[in-house]
Amino acid sequence: MQNNELLERIDRRLREKGLTDYRASMLAAGRPEIIRNIRRGRSRNPRRDTMEKLARVLDCSFEWLATGRGPVQSPPETPGVPAAAAPIISGENVPIPPARSEMPLDVPVMGTAAGSLKGAFQLDTSSPIDRVRRPPGIATAVDIYALYIVGDSMSPRFEDGELIYVSGRRPVRSGDDVVIQVHGADDQVEAYCKRLVKRDSASATVAQFNPSTTFDIAADRTIAIHKVLNLNDLFGI
C-alpha cells in the first residue's frame, strides 16, 4: 500500500528540481530503488536516515518531507552561528564528506554485475549507461567505474540493485570483493561480483554468500579481476 501523501510531496519537489525518481534516489543513497520502493508500497515508512538524505537532494526540510508540517525548506543558517560539530562515530570525530553536488559526476556506470552462479550479465565497456558521483577518496584515481548488482547471491554484503565502485588499477588480494570479467557468448564481456578466495595460473577460486558456496573460474576464460572499493577507499573513513 502506497504512502500517497509522502509521494505527493516527493513528486512536487521532483518537478520543482527537475529530477527523476532514478536520479534523486541515486544522489540520495547511491541506489536506484529508493523512491521506486515507496511507489510500489514496499517502503511505506522509510528509515529516518533515508528520508534525511532524500530531503537534502530534494532541497526541502526533513520535517516537511516526512510529515507535511512546517516550511518546505529549512530556514537559512544565522550568520555568525558556528556550524554543527562533526558527527561522532565510535567516540571519535570524523570529517564530514562533501555534499553530493560537490562531487564530480564523472564515474561511468558500465552495466550490471551478476550476483549469481549462472547467467552473468553483460558488461558494456564501450558505452556507459549512466554517470555517478566521484567520492573524495578516489578524486584523482584513474580506471574507476561503477556497476549495479543484480541478484542476491552476495547478500548481505551487496544487495540487489546496489551500486558498487570498482578499480581497474588497485591490486587484488585474497579476501577482496572483486568483479571478474569473463568472455561470454558472441564475444561479449560478462561480469560476476564475488569474493576472491585464491588465484593461481590455472583459475581463480571465488565465493558467494547466498547460498554459501565456492567455485572456480578458469584463467583462459578470464579477462580481468578488479577490486570492489569499500567505504574507506571511497571516503577515507
CATH number at residue 57: 1.10.260.40
Reported as a pLDDT band with limits 50, 70 and 90, residue 89 is: very low
Closest CA to 38 of 52, 53, 51, 57: 51
Task: Give the range of the structural domain holding residue 53, as residue numbers without chain letter.
Answer: 4-67
Q: Which residue has the higher pLDDT, 30 or 28?
A: 28
Closest CA to 156 of 134, 182, 177: 177
Q: What is the pLDDT of residue 209?
A: 92
Which range (53-57, 87-91, 103-107, 127-131) has the least confidence? 87-91
pTM of the predicted structure, to 2 decimals: 0.60
Q: Do 118 and 225 sit in the same domain of this protein? A: yes
Q: Do 111 and 26 sit in the same domain of this protein? A: no
The answer as to whether 12 is a domain residue is yes
Assess whether pLDDT exceeds 90 at residue 12: yes
Taking only the tens place, the pLDDT of each residue in 39-67 is 888 776 788 888 998 998 899 999 999 99
Per-residue burial over 202-217, b = 16 or more CB atoms within 10 Å of its CB, e = otherwise: ebbbbbbbeeeeeeeb
The answer as to whether 75 is a domain residue is no
The answer as to whether 95 is a domain residue is no
Beta-strand pair 203-209/212-218: antiparallel
**Domains of the chain: total:** 2
The pLDDT > 70 percentage for the chain reads 82
Q: Do 61 and 108 sit in the same domain of this protein? A: no
Which residue, of 45, 67, 89, is where some domain finishes? Answer: 67
